[in-house]
Structure 1
Amino acid sequence: MRASRLLTILLTLQTRGLVTATELAEQLEVSVRTVYRDVEALGAAGVPVYAERGPAGGYRLLEGFRTRINGLTQDEADALFLTGLPGPAAELGLGAVVASAQLKVQAGLPAELRDRVGRAQLRFHLDAPGWHREADRSPELARIAGAVWTDRRIRVRYRRWAGEVTRDLEPYGLVLKAGAWYLVARTVREGEHRDRTYRVVRIEELDVLDEMFERDPSFDLPAYWRAWSQDFVEQLRPILADVLVTEDARAMVRHLFGAHVADTVEASAGEPLPDGRVRADFPIETIEVAVPELLRLGPQIEILGPPELRARVAAEARATAARYA
């Protein structure tokens, strides 16, 4: 366990430069006193680590010192090359860079671990797009990624459902979701700065401006995406239909309609009726969209409301029955 801590301290100092004992203790989940002892052990082993005193001080490695990555376990070596995404990296214009970096890391591994890395690459593959849809293809993706890297403002002509708009944006990050790329950016308007999400494939024109912007240091891309995704799903199905569902239907909902619908049904489900059905809320987008969706569940679901939805589903069911009469 201590050997793992010593390696973590060494690689952290090598990666980050100056690091305080408190930061190391929080990362390792040990006491500051334990960090002191571990740093002393590194020094005794010949690692050139020294302390900088004062309020802004901490531990640092002697400039120019580097260590080979030879402390990986077999499991870590197996997982190392599963973290890469060669397809998306190539779309961002980084395919050659990623391949070069992987070669350099692989060259630094002991021979027995290099073989395990090759085995992992032969046995596992990530296919990001979902079924029944193709991955987004945007000729502007690499240029957008370049603006994200260099903190350059961009001007886009963006295709919305309601028509096209032109926006000046501060590009904060890119997110790949089920084969679709999304740009998270801050709008640049006088007196207004709002974070928004844009589907990259809908960007019709792009100008990378000479103007730089200063990133908000408090912005957290993963946290923003989690919150935006939750809001997006909820806004996509703003209407709650009142339904009676069988146990079989409840088992099918998650597969057919996703986690948000299934979780809403389960959270709102009442006590079972004598026939085994339960009354629950079912999120829908619109009446028109809900009719063919709910018909997929056949007699396993009964719509109680809204009345228009019940009437439309009943009419479709009668027309279907008449077709097969």
Structure 2
Amino acid sequence: MKSDRLLSILLLLQTHGQLSAADLAERLEVSARTIMRDFEALSAAGVPVYTVRGPQGGIALLPGYHTDVTGLTADESRALFVVLAGSAHADLGLGQALGSALRKVMAALPAPHQGGADLTSRRVLIDPVRWRGAPGSSDLEVFQRAVFADWRLRLRYRHGRDNRVRTYTVDPYGLVNKAGVWYLVADCEGAPQLYRVDRAQSVVVVAEPVRRRAGVELDDVWEELRRRIDDLPSLVAVTALVRDDVLALLLRVHQGELFDGPVPASRSGWSQVELRFRSVRAVEMLLAFGAGVEVLAPEEAREALAGQAKAIAELYGSQAPAGTPSR
């Protein structure tokens, strides 16, 4: 939209003082000819823009033409420009809006604070997405639509604890992005529940108004659910070697337990992963991968797996099952 582009040009010039037409064209993804037409439009509207000729020339604003945001300290200005580089804004379709908003804030900052804010944006980066983290969901748009329209949702949902798929009709409070993973906070039959968006096998908006508990907001429910998870017993940290031919399956089945990795191991054809389980007993699920997974630590988990493996070996030993007729 031309009006938005004109405003972006004005804000960029307020921030940088002078920019070439080519630089403006690159930043705004248009041609230099379009920038010159926009320059003429700004001038005709009474904006004090002018051109500087020569190799170091460009487009500039008359000195003093800017608007300050009063009341912001230097630290507050820097805090605004610690760039969140995860996919959260892009997932919500707000990636371009974030860039535009930051340009507007930068242009409106008091001049003494602009340098520190600009340096912070180039020196500090926060990426909340875990390595090999769970992928985003193509259904996030459907979740958004229900949340903003206050409609109910019907989910076919795969649970991480047992991989079973169940169907629920839920009443959403909102969406939360934690460590790069999207969660739906909702009531199910009046009780607060948390659903990972990427575990939804399907999601359908139900044309019925949401039935939230009166006076309860997203922050309240999220705090309750967060405490419920934080108060669980400490997780068991497991280091394991995974044979490369079963690695993809393990990452798919145990994505909820994956903490870090995979990274190449010293043993050829194997990778090392870090997992977190609720208990040593839960680590026994790795026996499903047979000799394709070796737990290195902790020792108590190795002992538990060895005990189960011994029991399985005895069960399937050479002796025929009870009731099998002799030959």
Q: TM-score scaled to structure 2, two decimals?
A: 0.50
Using the alignment, how far apart are the partners of 1:157 and 1:303 within structure 2? 33
2:178 is the alignment partner of 1:173: no
2:94 equivalent in structure 1: 94
Using the alignment, how far apart are the partners of 2:187 and 2:233 within structure 1? 22
1:218 equivalent in structure 2: 216
What runs of 5+ residues in structure 1 fail to find an aligned partner? Answer: 1-66, 238-253, 262-281, 317-325
Alpha-carbon distance, 1:200 to partner: 0.8
1:112 equivalent in structure 2: 112
Using the alignment, how far apart are the partners of 2:233 and 2:136 within structure 1? 27
Equivalent residue runs for 1:112-261 within 5 Å:
112-131=112-131, 133-160=132-159, 161-187=162-188, 192-213=189-210, 215-216=212-213, 217-219=215-217, 220-230=220-230, 234=233
2:284 equivalent in structure 1: 287
Using the alignment, how far apart are the partners of 2:308 and 2:156 within structure 1? 42
Q: TM-score scaled to structure 1, two decimals?
A: 0.50
Using the alignment, how far apart are the partners of 2:116 and 2:156 within structure 1? 47
What count of residue pairs does the alignment treat as equivalent?
A: 205
Greater strand proportion? 2
Q: Is the 8 A contact 2:83 2:124 kept in 1?
A: no
Alpha-carbon distance, 1:159 to partner: 3.2
Using the alignment, how far apart are the partners of 2:109 and 2:86 within structure 1? 21
> What's the Cα RMSD here?
4.1
State the SS of the aligned residue for 2:202. Answer: strand
Q: Is the 8 A contact 1:182 1:199 kept in 2?
A: yes
Larger RCO, structure (CA 8 Å, separation 6 or more): 2
State the SS of the aligned residue for 1:104. Answer: helix
Deviates more, 1:67-76 or 1:200-209: 67-76
What runs of 5+ residues in structure 2 fail to find an aligned partner? Answer: 1-66, 237-258, 261-272, 314-327
Alpha-carbon distance, 1:89 to partner: 0.9
Alpha-carbon distance, 1:207 to partner: 2.2
Using the alignment, how far apart are the partners of 2:200 and 2:302 within structure 1? 42
Q: Is the 8 A contact 1:147 1:153 kept in 2?
A: yes
Q: Is the 8 A contact 1:86 1:98 kept in 2?
A: no
Q: For each residue in 1:179-217, what CA deviation from the matched residue of structure 2 results, as whole angstroms up to 9, or x when unmatched?
A: 322212112xxxx31221212112232222333225433
Letter in 2 for 1:88: A
Using the alignment, how far apart are the partners of 2:167 and 2:300 within structure 1? 46
Letter in 1 for 2:148: W
